[in-house]
Amino acid sequence: MTATTDGGGAITDGADPRHDTAAAPAAAAAGPSGEDTGLPKAVRDAADRATRELLDRQDTAGWWKGDLQTNVTMDAEDLLLRQFLGIRDEETTRAAALFIRGEQQPDGTWATFHGGPPEISATIEAYVALRLAGDAPDAPHMARASAWIRDQGGIASARVFTRIWLALFGWWSWDHLPELPPELVFLPPWVPLNIYDFGCWARQTIVPLTVVSALRPVCPAPFTLDELRTGDHDAYPAKPLAPAASWDGIFQRMDKALHLYRRVAPRRLRKAAMAAAGRWIVERQENDGCWGGIQPPAVYSVIALHLLGYDLGHPVMRAGLESLDRFAVWREDGARMVEACQSPVWDTCLAAIALADAGVRPDHPALVKAADWMLGEEVRRSGDWAVRRPGLAPGGWAFEFHNDTYPDVDDTAEVVLALRRIRHPEPGKVDAAIDRGVSWTLGMQSGDGAWAAFDADNTSPLPNRLPFCDFGEVIDPPSADVTAHVVEMLAAEGKADDPRTRRGIAWLLAEQEPEGCWFGRWGTNYVYGTGSVVPALTAAGISPGHPAVRRAVRWLESVQNEDGGWGEDQRSYRDRAWAGKGASTASQTAWALMALLAAGEREGEAVRRGLAYLVETQRPDGTWDEPYFTGTGFPWDFSINYHLYRQVFPLTALGRYLYGDPLTPARTARHTGGAAPAAVTAEEA
């Protein structure tokens, strides 16, 4: 039987057990203030189609998860790992090569995001992987790639991580790589450049790489890479020493000293350091066998432990390799794509928010099942975050299926917002989990009043200066998008006037860019930041007429595309001229709409055109197409296409246009008249 809608557009279908037979709540039958909205039927129909499609995607266990697409270095490094361990098989190789070839651009190169420019390291790694798969170097697609690589300076132009992979097979000299001494693990947290000065993702990668760097293994290469070399065997281009008084000069000289140190390092000390690193790695292996729930640390941890004597049959190694297999997505054409990470907690809380905001009843079985699953994923033990917050009780949620060592503030805030939208049969159970999550989040506030994703006060500038760190962010400073999600969550919990919330609000107001937007650390980019901050500010009581909100509205209106949508290219992370500019996407259009709706622009022309874009680009099955990468791992360096973003965010925007934000009444009751919280100064207001 076909699902239908009631007068307010809420899904109703007595024949389908996923849908509730009762009508939507009264607030859903009209706009936020109770008036007849007079919405175009097309908008309601689009929301209903998207709702049905999202409900159909839910796993029987209660979670949602879309593919997390990055770039071909994940697939190439997976093959190189298997080659190094001697476990590469024909089926995996064939399927990985099929995917890698399919991502090659006409000029023979590979990019790191859809429509992006060629990238030297990705192209080198993809080329080497195809050589492993048997592609001949004189094949046209390979010849185009190798010619481009040589034109860019050959393999000497690759980043450090790529050259580490090449060194594992003797294609590059270990002498020409930055030194990473395992003795690093002995540095206490108060010493500069200790491992806890690095963001958790970098920390998990660096510790195993200290073992690899110390042992310098070389697996016999199955072929040469002479076709990628320039000059006399790619003599490593020595950079001129920077002035000794500069940070670059200091770290260059430090690296030279560390290369000398490895020759005289006390054998017992080095052996003890590698053993300590091995214990650190094993202690952080998750229940599913992975490390941190992300592929790169898992790969390097497997290599390090193998070098320390763990054979492939050891339970730690077996579990680690099995976890890497679970990152593989097998496509209908037989290709195999490797995810860098999996995002079920993030996807599930966003899906629950979208469905609730689109008028699905709060006690709908799908939402209750999602709540049960999220409650089961609560992190109840301490992790690395406790190094900086030793007295803080655990709580909160991680991003992945298993990552109890590294819960994150962003997921915790959004899970709380999702749970508050669901009418669970055991409200006390929900309240207790939320209380723990809120307390943990408040304890993770950094000294400047804002919040980062994984750690508090992880802001030392020194790690980024290391010669080793030439790829992506290695620290975890506070960001506007994470801080906004926390402020929005705290407002929903009745803490808009809490001094800690007000400090977060003041930080957000101070971080607004001159144009009126906010930088987006974990989503692309200024559209994401702005789409996160404006709803948070208004939820916390900042008036839609506040100058900061009006500047944001004007900026969003100024960057709206001719087709009515919004888009922003990853290049905005390097070039501000790209801020708010790029092909329209469903997810970025939704972020802009969420900000404009929160700013009171429901009847505005920009909102109307944005809604029309979503309606017109929706497929008949309720989905949207989105090849562009709108997620961010490392700004510019590591881009993500979350395949569920194109569903959850448009549905959220459509739902908020139809019914308003379901948590808004409680918020506005606490801040009548839109007055700014007391901690916001008169100048800021």
Residue 92 reports pLDDT greater than 80: yes
Residue owning tokens 């929160």: 598
Residue keyed to tokens 């089961």? 376
Nearest to 541 by CA among 656, 450, 673, 683: 673
Provide the percentage of residues in the chain whose pLDDT is more than 90.
84
CA 336/CA 327 separation, integer angstroms: 10
pLDDT at position 469 is 83
Question: Which among 603, 623, 596, 593 has a CA at the least distance from the CA of 40?
Answer: 603
Q: For residues 406 and 454, what is the distance between their CA atoms, to the nearest angstrom?
A: 7
The answer, yes or no, to whether residue 139 has pLDDT greater than 90, is: yes
CA atoms within 13 A on the CB side of 642: 29
**CATH, domain 69-338, list 1.50.10.20, 3.40.50.1100, 2.30.110.10, 1.10.540.10:** 1.50.10.20
- What's the pLDDT score for residue 240? 78
Beta bridge partners of 337: 329
Whether the Cβ atoms of residue 18 and residue 365 lie closer than 8 Å to each other: yes
| Measured distance CA(486)–CA(412) in Å, rounded | 8
Q: What is the pLDDT of residue 239?
A: 67
Query: Looking at the predicted structure, is the pLDDT value of residue 447 above 60?
Result: yes
682 Cβ contact list (under 8 Å, min separation 6) = none
- 598-644 tens-digit pLDDT: 999 999 999 999 999 999 999 999 999 999 999 999 999 999 999 99
Please give the Cα distance from 319 to 396 (Å, whole number): 25
For the record, the structure tokens of 337 come out as 């794509």
Residue 20, pLDDT score: 39
Q: What is the pLDDT of residues 566-577, one digit of tens each?
A: 999 999 999 999
Over the stretch 357-378, which tens digit does the pLDDT of each residue have? 999 999 999 999 999 999 999 9
Catalytic residue among 78, 357, 410, 481: 410
Contact 446, 409 (CB under 8 A): no
Per-residue pLDDT, 428: 97
pTM beyond 0.85 = yes
Residue type for 192, please? Answer: P
CA pseudo-torsion sign 278, 476, 414, 628? negative
| Neighbouring-strand partners of residue 294 | 341
pLDDT of residue 671: 30
pLDDT at 23 over 50: no
Domains 4-66+343-459+479-674 and 69-338 share a fold: yes
* Percent of the chain clearing pLDDT 70 (strictly above): 90
Give the model confidence (pLDDT) of 144-155 as tens digits: 999 999 999 999
Query: How do residues 116-129 score in pLDDT, each as one tens digit?
Result: 999 999 999 999 99
* Bridge partner residues of 12 (DSSP): 4
pLDDT of residue 622: 97
Nearest to 399 by CA among 456, 344, 323, 480: 344
Mean pLDDT of 26-46: 57
Q: pLDDT at position 156, please? A: 93
Give the tens place of pLDDT for each residue, 215-234: 999 999 999 999 999 875 55
**Distance from chain centroid for Cα 333:** 27
Query: Which tens digit of pLDDT belongs to each residue from 245-263?
Result: 888 888 888 889 999 999 9
The token pair that represents 129 in the structure block: 């992987």
Task: Look at residue 471 in the predicted model and tell me its pLDDT.
Answer: 80
> Where residue 16 falls among pLDDT bands split at 50, 70, 90?
very low
Mean pLDDT value of segment 315-336: 96
What is the number of other CB atoms lying within 10 angstroms of the CB of residue 312?
A: 13
Taking only the tens place, the pLDDT of each residue in 539-557 is: 999 999 999 999 999 999 9
Q: How far apart are CA 461 and CA 396, in angstroms?
A: 28
Question: What residues does each domain of the chain span?
Answer: 4-66+343-459+479-674, 69-338
For 324, the enclosing helix (H) or strand (E) is helix 315-325
The CATH code of the domain at 4-66+343-459+479-674 is 1.50.10.20
3-state secondary structure of 248: helix
Residue 406 CB neighbour total at 10 angstroms: 26
Phi-psi region of 193 (alpha: psi -120 to 50; beta: other; left: phi over 0): left
pLDDT at 467 (0 to 100): 83
Cβ atoms of 144 and 107 closer than 8 Å: yes
- Over residues 584-599, mean pLDDT: 98
Q: How far apart are CA 171 and CA 218, in angstroms?
A: 9
Rounded Cα gap, residues 597 and 604, in angstroms: 9
Specify whether 410 is catalytic: yes
In 3D, which of 560, 514, 556 has the Cα closest to residue 535? 556
Is residue 103 packed enough to be buried (19+ CB in 10 Å), middle (13-18) or exposed (0-12)?
middle
Q: Order of strands, edge to edge, in the sheet holding 631-634? A: 68-69, 638-642, 631-634
pLDDT at 679 > cutoff 80: no
Query: With DSSP H G I counted as helix, E B as strand and the rest as coil, what are the percentages for the chain, rounded to 5?
Result: 50, 5, 45
Cβ neighbours around 623 below 10 Å, total: 18
Higher-pLDDT residue of 470 and 214 is 214
